[in-house]
């Protein structure tokens, strides 16, 4: 079995090298983890799920977490945005920051010191990525028989953003965690298009999943999700028409096992009826629905969607906070108030997202949390 898995890993690495010669440089800082796999028999040699005997849980975002993962955008104008996230989350939970190289690491430490952000609850890892969207390419964490385990679905398709796609497997290798990297060939899905209630039900936007997996039916994809993530039910919603990703986190937020925050458009917007339909579907399935405004960038040249549901819940080991997007508009305070009333046990903190939202994502898109088990 060990030799078979060595072949699998080596084959996958060969694909990486063939598709992109630059990846030889990209994986250099991570290759030691692969070396360890190739020379040691470890518990993740034989990953499998036996639905009859294994207890599998896909935890909800609002359950307790012990780590927040982000990727540092060294040398870009996103730095202030990410510093705000680090500043407002490091008191709640350990923050793991991926950086591309030692220069970026030293630069980040200097900026953290300048901003007087404590380093005590931060881990800075040299792990080069292709992009900052770690919610989408990060690990699908599950609990398998009381142990934290990783399912490594495909990110954007074979050969695209290879270092991002490889990240969950490398994370498992580096942290001595069991993982299923072969799930890469079972389904293409991004983490921003997945919400679990921690009770065996998950919600996704069907349109995006179908676009990413054109050879599979929606029923087949639902069964794959059930198999790998231990789900009993998958609820498919409709993507917005023009938010750039079609992900569920662009228009909804599951804040507890009974309640979903859903965006609400002006009746004149193309997405109005879509979200009204999604809201009714959720109500029909027994959920309480709270509405929050959906806006468009007033700059007509951009026409980007400003979403307040792309927030981050941190039920941390030290503190409980929710980071909510802000856009320097009058509706910001209303969004904060809605979260404060809906989640009274949490500190609600606004994060300016004007720079990042131009790239069709916000706080949830650029962060990943690891459940505490």
Q: Would you say 212 and 157 are in contact if contact means Cβ atoms under 8 Å apart? A: yes
Q: Is the pLDDT of residue 9 over 70?
A: no
Q: How many domains does the chain have?
A: 1
Q: pLDDT per residue over 232-287, tens digit each?
A: 999 999 999 999 999 999 999 999 999 999 999 999 999 999 999 999 999 999 99
Q: pLDDT per residue over 185-205, tens digit each?
A: 899 999 999 999 999 999 999
pLDDT band at 345 (very low <50, low <70, confident <90, very high): very high
Residue 160, number of CB atoms within 10 A of its CB: 14
Domain that holds residue 194: 55-371
In a domain, 34, yes or no: no
In a domain, 72, yes or no: yes
In a domain, 43, yes or no: no
In a domain, 35, yes or no: no
More confident position, 246 or 15: 246
DSSP assignment of 202-271 equals EEEEHHHHHHH-TTS-HHHHHHHHHHHHT-SEEEEEPPPSSSSS--GGGTEEEEETTEEEEEE--TTSTT
* Alpha-carbon gap, residue 51 to 225, rounded angstroms: 12
pLDDT at 33: 45
In a domain, 242, yes or no: yes
- Evaluate if pTM is beyond 0.85: yes
Q: What is the CATH number of the domain that holds 95?
A: 3.75.10.10
In a domain, 157, yes or no: yes
Q: pLDDT per residue over 81-131, tens digit each?
A: 999 999 999 999 999 999 999 999 999 999 999 999 999 999 999 998 999
Rounded average pLDDT over 41-69: 76
In a domain, 47, yes or no: no
* Alpha-carbon gap, residue 303 to 216, rounded angstroms: 33
Buried-exposed string 86-119: b where 16+ CB fall within 10 A, e elsewhere: bbbbbbbbbbbbbbbeeebbebbeebbeeeebee
DSSP assignment of 290-326 equals EEEE-EE-S-TTT--EE-SS--EEEE-SS-EEEEEEE
* Alpha-carbon gap, residue 79 to 68, rounded angstroms: 17
């Amino acid at each position: 079995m060990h030799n078979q898995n060595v072949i699998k890993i080596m084959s996958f690495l060969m694909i990486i090298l063939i598709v992109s010669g630059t990846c030889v440089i990209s994986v250099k800082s991570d290759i030691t983890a692969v070396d360890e796999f190739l020379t040691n028999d470890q518990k993740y040699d034989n990953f499998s799920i036996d639905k009859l005997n294994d207890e599998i849980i896909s935890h909800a975002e609002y359950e307790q977490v012990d780590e927040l993962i982000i990727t540092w955008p060294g040398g870009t104008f996103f730095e202030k945005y990410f510093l705000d996230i680090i500043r407002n989350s490091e008191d709640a939970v350990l923050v793991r920051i991926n950086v591309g190289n030692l220069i970026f690491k030293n630069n980040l430490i200097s900026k953290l010191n300048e901003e007087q952000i404590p380093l005590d609850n931060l881990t800075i890892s040299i792990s080069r990525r292709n992009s900052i969207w770690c919610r989408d390419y990060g690990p699908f964490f599950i609990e398998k028989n009381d142990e934290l385990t990783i399912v490594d679905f495909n990110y954007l398709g074979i050969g695209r953003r290879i270092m991002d796609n490889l990240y969950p497997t490398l994370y498992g290798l580096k942290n001595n965690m069991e993982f299923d990297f072969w799930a890469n060939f079972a389904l293409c899905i991004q983490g921003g298009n997945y919400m679990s209630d921690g009770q065996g039900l998950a919600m996704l936007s069907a349109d995006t999943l179908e676009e990413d997996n054109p050879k599979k039916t929606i029923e087949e994809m639902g069964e794959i999700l059930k198999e790998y993530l231990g789900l009993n039910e998958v609820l498919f919603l409709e993507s917005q028409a023009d938010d750039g990703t079609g992900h569920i986190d662009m228009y909804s937020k599951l804040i507890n096992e009974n309640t979903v925050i859903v965006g609400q458009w002006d009746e004149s917007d193309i997405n109005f009826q879509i979200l009204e339909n999604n809201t009714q579907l959720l109500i029909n399935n027994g959920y309480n629905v709270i509405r929050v405004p959906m806006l468009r960038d007033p700059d007509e040249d951009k026409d980007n969607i400003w979403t307040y549901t792309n927030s981050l819940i941190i039920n941390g080991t030290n503190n409980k906070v929710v980071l909510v997007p802000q856009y320097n508009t009058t509706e910001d305070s209303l969004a904060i108030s809605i979260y404060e009333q809906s989640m009274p046990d949490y500190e609600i903190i606004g994060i300016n997202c004007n720079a990042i939202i131009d790239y069709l994502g916000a706080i949830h898109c650029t962060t990943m949390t690891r459940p505490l088990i």
